[in-house]
Amino acid sequence: MNQGMLMESMNLASVWNLPVLFVCKDDGWAITTQSKSVTAGDLNDRAHGLGIPAVELDGCDVSEVWEAAHSAIERARSGQGPTFLHARCVHFEGHFLGIQLIRMVRDPLREVPKIAIQLTQSFLHPGRAVLHERLAGLKLVLTAVLSTLHDPRRDLANDPVRRARTALLSDPVRLQKLEDQIEKVISDDLSIALTEVSS
């Protein structure tokens, strides 16, 4: 959200009324930095400032995302321009696969030695920072590792698939409605594709 190319893309999409769907998967982190420490203002206000409607939603609620995306796509296809979806969610694998702290918690016997040996060598090496500074640094690393044990990514209540299954199985009418919508979207898209291929 803080990169210039995104601001330029959103600006041009708005000016040229392009059929674009911008989706921000917001877990409160900018890779390894908390978003609030590097991001000023409100993300939805940024979109509004560029003339783009913004929709705030629970990114872990599959049906809510489906409905919001469906409306935004219909809006784009009907020539009404871009939409910004601000989905608050949890990244179960971090911002990139194999994020080190999660790998360490999931498989400590294999992952911890890879960095523990280097940390130990650095800690014991003469000529480095004074002992209390090295201890403070080691404490920071251990705190970060231990905090991943309480990471919301490990909480099954935040799993969007599990949440969707639970909600839909308890509401068969809603489930049928979603299945009908999905079938219609697939059928419509297939008809368009076959028409374009045959012409």
CA angle 130, 136, 139 (to 5 degrees): 140
The span from the CA of 82 to the CA of 14, in Å, is 6
Residue 80, number of CB atoms within 10 A of its CB: 13
Per-residue pLDDT of the chain (199 residues; tens, 9 = 90+): 888 999 999 999 999 999 999 999 988 877 767 788 888 889 999 999 999 999 999 888 888 888 999 999 999 999 999 999 999 987 666 566 556 666 666 666 776 676 666 666 666 666 666 777 777 777 877 777 666 666 666 677 777 778 888 888 888 888 888 888 888 888 888 888 888 877 7
1-90: in CATH 3.40.50.970: yes
Ranges of each domain in the chain? 1-90, 100-154
On whether the CB atoms of residues 112 and 104 are closer than 8 A, the answer is yes
- Residue 57 has φ and ψ, to the nearest 5°, of -150, 165
Q: What is the pLDDT of residue 76?
A: 95
On whether the CB atoms of residues 171 and 63 are closer than 8 A, the answer is no
The span from the CA of 119 to the CA of 100, in Å, is 14
Q: What is the pLDDT of residue 139?
A: 80
The span from the CA of 116 to the CA of 125, in Å, is 14
Q: What is the pLDDT of residue 39?
A: 85
Q: What is the pLDDT of residue 145?
A: 65
Q: Note the pTM of the prediction, 2 decimals.
A: 0.57
Three-class SS of residue 29? strand
The span from the CA of 20 to the CA of 72, in Å, is 9
On whether the CB atoms of residues 44 and 52 are closer than 8 A, the answer is no
Q: What is the pLDDT of residue 38?
A: 85
Radius of gyration of the chain measured on its C-alpha atoms: 23
